[in-house]
Amino acid sequence: MKIFLVVAAVLATAAGSDEKWKQYREAVMHVAASQPDTADSRWGLSPVGFNDFGCQVQYSDSVPTSVHQLRPSDIGVVAALGDSLTAANGALASNVLAVLTEYRGASWSIGGDGSLENTITLANIIKKFNPNVKGFSTGTGNVNSWGANFNVAVPGKEAIDMPDQADELISRMRNSGDIDFQNDWKVITLFIGGNDLCGYCSDSRTDEGNPKSATNYRAYIEQALDKLHAQVPRAFVNLVSMLDIAELNKGQLTFSCRLLSAFLCDCVTYANDNELNIIRRVNGEYQDALRDLVGSGKYDTRDDFTVVLQPFLENTPIPMNPNNPSEADLTYFAPDCFHFGAKAHAEAAEGLWMNMLEGWGSKSTSWVLGRDVQCPLSNSPFLRTMRN
């Protein structure tokens, strides 16, 4: 069994994103079949909640017409684009097979299961300011499931897929009977790039000749943002910067984790120090590309639309085991040691929320583990943009 899976992992390195995800699914099922049907105490943790919300909700005198005067209570719709981290694969998984389940209701940027008291997500934070917010995803299921709603993320996808996801999201919002497409204020979160970086080393070409180059990464995201800018009124777009994917190398502590991660991110799983440095360089180029794109001002040509770069993951280190500081704390991960577990989804939600309240040039570039959900300042009650 192990020999078969190792060979399959090697073959997966040359596959496209859809084929690679298909091979990953098959590997998960093989690994699950070879393991005893018992839960590991490190995984399957309940969603993380926050019980001490004490923010004084501030309301606008009238519905704002400017995105630069947008309060959390003005948000009527949440939406998200991305890959398996936004689809929330394995978020509540207690065994390897359950990593294939998309726990969309627990997704950090758009999940709406429960409430803030039992599930920290951006949508559940926003519910505290506007209980009538729409668009959040619930339960489990794929992008076409009833509970997916405006969570159009699809596992295995890359930057090249974002223009199509933008089209899908726009179509869903236009055709929804639950929202006022023209007048509701929308928060849309786009996070993508892990699969791009994880495929970078699969091409022998480097830099501009590589289809996963920062130039191409930016171009595809720009196409998606252009679509949103041209067609979606009243929108605040969170563009979340890429995390340091090389950090995942520290979490490969079991054979199953190393094997499954190899299907998704062979560029990191078995990389030596030199190879990791290459990935870190390209990772930085991805971050710089998004910073330049947003800083260009091309999405600040209308008063009712903006794109804000949220960098809270850029310098986020992998959490380390408090009982063994030399090892990664796997309780933050799904059983494949790659996808976010419940604790990481909660931390990512809080980190994104904090970035949304922080001014341009003063945003946190790493999450703070265990930090309380913060309140908007009374003298700065708006979601922060480059212009406020």
For the segment 301-327, what is each residue's pLDDT rounded down to a tens digit? Answer: 999 999 999 999 999 999 998 888 888
* pLDDT of amino acid 41: 56
Q: Decide if pLDDT at 201 tops 90.
A: no
Kindly state the average pLDDT of the residues 260-264.
84
Q: What band does 2 get if pLDDT is binned at 50, 70 and 90?
A: very low
Q: What is the CA radius of gyration of the chain?
A: 20
* Lowest-pLDDT range of 42-46, 125-129, 250-254: 42-46
pLDDT at site 35: 72
Mean pLDDT, residues 221-248 taken together: 96
Residue 149 near residue 138, CB atoms below 8 Å: yes
User: With 80 as the cut, is the pLDDT of residue 39 above it?
Assistant: no
pLDDT of 83-124, one tens digit each? 999 999 999 999 999 999 999 999 999 999 999 999 999 999
What pLDDT does 19 receive? 86
What SS3 string covers the chain? CHHHHHHHHHHHCCCCHHHHHHHHHHHHHHHHHHCCCCCCCCCCCCCCCCCCCCCCCCCCCCCCCCHHHCCHHHEEEEEEEECHHHHCECCCCCCHHHHHCECHHHCCCCECCCCCCCCCCHHHHHHHHCCCCECCECCCCCCCCHHHCCECCCCCCCHHHHHHHHHHHHHHHHHCCCCCCCCCEEEEEEECCHHHHHCHHHCCCCHHHCCCCHHHHHHHHHHHHHHHHHHCCCEEEEEECCCCHHHHHHHCCCHHHHHHHHHHHHHHHCCCHHHHHHHHHHHHHHHHHHHHHHHCCCCCCCCCEEEEEECCCCCCCCCEECCEEEEECHHHECCCCCCECHHHHHHHHHHHHHHHHCCCCCCCCCCCCCCCCCCCECCECCCCCCCC
**Which residues, in sequence order, are bridge partners of residue 162?**
none
Q: Is the pLDDT of residue 296 over 60?
A: yes
- Name the residue with higher pLDDT: 174 or 35: 174
19's tokens: 């084929």
Model confidence band, residue 37 (pLDDT cutoffs 50, 70, 90)? low
By C-alpha distance, which of 55, 234, 185, 59 is closest to 128? Answer: 55
**Statement: residue 15 has pLDDT above 80:** no
Active site residues: 84, 196, 339
pLDDT bucket at 259, cuts 50 / 70 / 90: confident
Which of 14-18, 43-47, 201-205, 210-214 is predicted with the least confidence, judged by mean pLDDT? 14-18
pLDDT of residue 326: 81
Whether residue 36 is predicted with pLDDT greater than 90 in this model: the reply is no
Share of the chain above pLDDT 90, in %: 74
pLDDT (0 to 100) of residue 43: 64
- Tens of pLDDT along 44-88? 667 889 988 999 999 999 999 999 999 999 999 999 999 999 999
- Band of residue 261 on the pLDDT scale cut at 50, 70, 90: confident
pLDDT at 11 over 60: no
Per-residue pLDDT band for 253 (boundaries 50, 70, 90) equals low
Q: What tens digit of pLDDT does each residue of 269-292 get?
A: 888 899 999 999 999 999 999 999
Task: Work out the average pLDDT over 189-211.
Answer: 86
Least confident of 103-107, 212-216, 255-259: 255-259
Q: CA dihedral defined by 241, 73, 386, 82, rounded to 10 degrees?
A: 20
pLDDT of 40 reads 59
Q: Rounded to an integer, what distance in angstroms lies between the CA atom of residue 149 and that of residue 162?
A: 17
Averaged pLDDT, 168-183 = 98
Give the pLDDT mean for 355-380: 94
Position 14 scores a pLDDT of 44
Burial class (CB in 10 A: 0-12, 13-18, 19+), 41: exposed
- Point out the least confidently predicted range of 30-34, 86-90, 187-191: 30-34
